[in-house]
Structures are given as structure tokens and as C-alpha cells.
Amino acid sequence: MREEDSNWFSRWEEELPSPEELMPLSQTLITPDLALAFDIRNPNNSNNNISPIQQHASPQPQPQPPPSNPLPASATTPPHPNSAEFAADSAELGSGAGGEEPARTLKRPRLVWTPQLHKRFVDAVAHLGIKNAVPKTIMQLMSVDGLTRENVASHLQKYRLYLKRMQGLGGSGGAGGGGGAGGLTASVDPATDHLFASSPVPPHFLHPGRSNSEHFLPFVQVPVAAMQHHHHQQQQIAAVAAHPQLQPQYHRQVGHFGSPPNGQFEHPFLSRQSQSVHRMGAPVHNPVQGYVEDLESANGTGGRKVLTLFPTGDD
DNA sequence: TTCCGAATAT
DNA sequence: TATATTCGGA
């Protein structure tokens, strides 16, 4: 697979399995690369709809995440993107292998906030402090590949409502205290905040600007995952990195931040991450690479595909 | 111009 | 419902 896309395309055609063949779990049958490129789906058989969630059972045992790492960026991500379930429908495929850019107007599939992902979110917010926790910053701290600011903003909006609710309830309940461990707060609608309940809410959240103090400075210690030991392979939303070779072209790396003696919170980390998704206009080939996640959904009727992030259950 | 956040849409 | 998108304002 090198860079020859022209080849990949041909190859793709040649190797197209019959519908029956790829029926079973898409993930197992579809090679990562193919998956990476686009969702393989049959014209008539859209049955192979990959289900958004839970795809446990990866053929391979999952490596356990390394020791402690506050924000294990890729820790939970197995070598193989088991989560490769996004689907990309290349609408324009028809054209000869000419290979022009896939429309970059692709829509990303809905992000599914797995408990793991949410955990990172909470950690980031916690580390930033409510004050500084705005979408952009949170997104940067999380350093999850493919996560967008809007994804975070949307989730944050909901999370704030959740916190508010907790406060209103007298908070002691599930949130902080519980130590997180079991924290199932039963008080509120079960249906509503199970996800949120899955991660402990730092106490400070409930009392902004009041008492507290305790531990917890906004910065300090945020080792943020971002730097995974030498393999920075961040988790990526849905598949993407299927290829060892095709790595994401950009990594978000955070700077290294020691601990600012001063309280002022600089942004050592967010200094500059190029979020640039490669605006490559010239490089003709590389449709696949062009976009980290080129998933897409399409299909008008109910063809909803969802992008999920390493669902490896852990926690 | 970018970003945030609430409202609204899907 | 959960997440996305829109929209007014800083």
C-alpha cells in the first residue's frame, strides 16, 4: 500500500469480496485498510451496517493499557483499530481511478461518547478548571485524534447541564464522593446520565469558586496523555490508523509542561497544535490519507453510520 | 475573524 | 436520546 492510490483503488476493486463474504462482522472481514478507505458496502445489501457501538471481540486480545497514565491517550487503543467501524461511502467512487480528491465535504459520523472518551473529557475539564474549560481547550487537552471542537462543545453543553442538576440535588450523592467507584447515582433519571455517571465528577465542579481548594490546580500535573511514550499514536476516532504505515499525518502533541510555580495558567500545552488536516490541494492521490477519518454516512433512509471511539471496555 | 454557548435540528 | 448544527453575541 504505499502511496499508490491508483493501485489501491484497483486493488480494491479486485478484491471486492462478494456480499456474502463480507456479511459477518464487518470488522473482521474487512481489512483495516479497506475499512480505512471507505465503508465497504453493497449496493443492495446494506445489511452489513456496522453497528455503532460495542464491537467487542476483537480477534486479538487487547493489550492492557500501560500502567498509570492519567490520560492515556492511546493506551486503550490496541494495535489494530478494533473500532474501525466508521463507514465512508465514497459517493464519487465511480470515476476512474483518476483519483481526485474525495470531496472534502464529507460529513463525519456522529461521535459516540464512550465512557473512556468521556473520562478523558472529564479529566481535561478537571485539569483545566471550570473556568478554562472551554471547548477548544478541552479538545486540545484531550488530544483525541479527530475530535472536533464542536464535538466537545456539544458534549460540554450537556455535561454542564448534568453538573447543574447535580448541584441542585445536593450533590453529595453520586458525584464526587462516591469516589467514583460505584457512583451510580440513582437519584436522577437513569436514562439520562448514565454516561456521565460513569466518570466521577470532581467535587470542585459542583462548587465553583467556593471553598474547596483542596488539591487540584488547574494545571500542574496534567501529564496529559498527549505524550505517549514513544508511540504517539493517539487514539483516533474510528479506525483511521489501520495501517502501520499510513499513520495519521499529524499528531497533536502537547508541549511539555512542567509545573508552573505560579498559579497563572499558561497554556503550555495548547501552545500550538496544528490541527491542520492537511489542506493538501495538490497531492493528488491519497484519497484515503487525505482525511484522517473519512467516514461518512450517506444514504438517505436510515443509513446512519456512527463513528465510535475505541470502545474497549475498561473502566 | 474566531470562539463560546444556548437554542434548535436531526 | 444523543449528538450536530445554527445563530447571536463577545
Residue A276, domain member (yes or no) = no
Residue A288, domain member (yes or no) = no
Check pLDDT > 50 for residue A28.
Answer: no
Q: Are A240 and A81 in contact (CB under 8 A)?
A: yes
pLDDT classification of A42: cutoffs 50, 70, 90: very low
Maximum average pLDDT range among A13-27, A77-91, A111-125, A182-196: A111-125
pLDDT of residue A281: 33
Residue A141, domain member (yes or no) = yes
Work out the burial of residue A75: count CB atoms within 10 Å of its CB; fewer than 13 is exposed, 13-18 middle, 19 or more buried.
buried
- CA A150 to CA A300: how far, in whole Å? 23
Check pLDDT > 90 for residue A112.
Answer: yes
Residue A162, domain member (yes or no) = yes
Residue A211 CB coordination number (10 Å): 8
The pTM (predicted TM-score) of the whole model is: 0.51
- CA A283 to CA A107: how far, in whole Å? 22
CA of A154, C1' of C6: distance in angstroms: 12
> Which residue ranges have CB below 7 A from strand B?
A 134-137, 149, 153-154, 156-157, 160
Mean pLDDT calculated for residue range A273-285:
36
DSSP state for residue A189 in the 8-state scheme: -
Maximum average pLDDT range among A93-102, A230-239, A303-312: A303-312
CA of A156, C1' of C8: distance in angstroms: 19
Check pLDDT > 90 for residue A57.
Answer: no
Nearest to A204 by CA among A131, A262, A265: A131
Domain count, chain A: 1
Taking only the tens place, the pLDDT of each residue in A85-102 is: 333 333 333 344 444 445
Chain C nucleotides close to protein (CB under 7 A) are: 1-6
CA of A51, C1' of C4: distance in angstroms: 19
The domain of A128 spans 115-167
A136 CA: nearest nucleotide by C1': B3
Residue nearest to nucleotide C1 (CA to C1'): A192
pLDDT classification of A153: cutoffs 50, 70, 90: very high
- CA A252 to CA A233: how far, in whole Å? 9
Average pLDDT, chain A: 52
CA of A22, C1' of C2: distance in angstroms: 29
What ranges in A175-253 are assigned the alpha helix state H? Answer: 190-197, 203-206
A137 CA: nearest nucleotide by C1': B3
Q: Are A87 and A39 in contact (CB under 8 A)?
A: yes
Residue A5 CB coordination number (10 Å): 22
Taking only the tens place, the pLDDT of each residue in A168-218 is: 766 444 444 433 333 444 455 555 578 888 888 776 666 655 544 444 444
CA of A91, C1' of C6: distance in angstroms: 26
Residue A82, domain member (yes or no) = no
What ranges in chain A are assigned the alpha helix state H? Answer: 5-15, 26-29, 32-37, 115-132, 135-142, 149-168, 190-197, 203-206, 287-290
Q: What are the phi and psi torsion angles at A158 (to 5°)?
A: -70, -35
pLDDT of residue A273: 38
> What's A160's domain CATH number?
1.10.10.60
pLDDT top residue among A145 and A172: A145
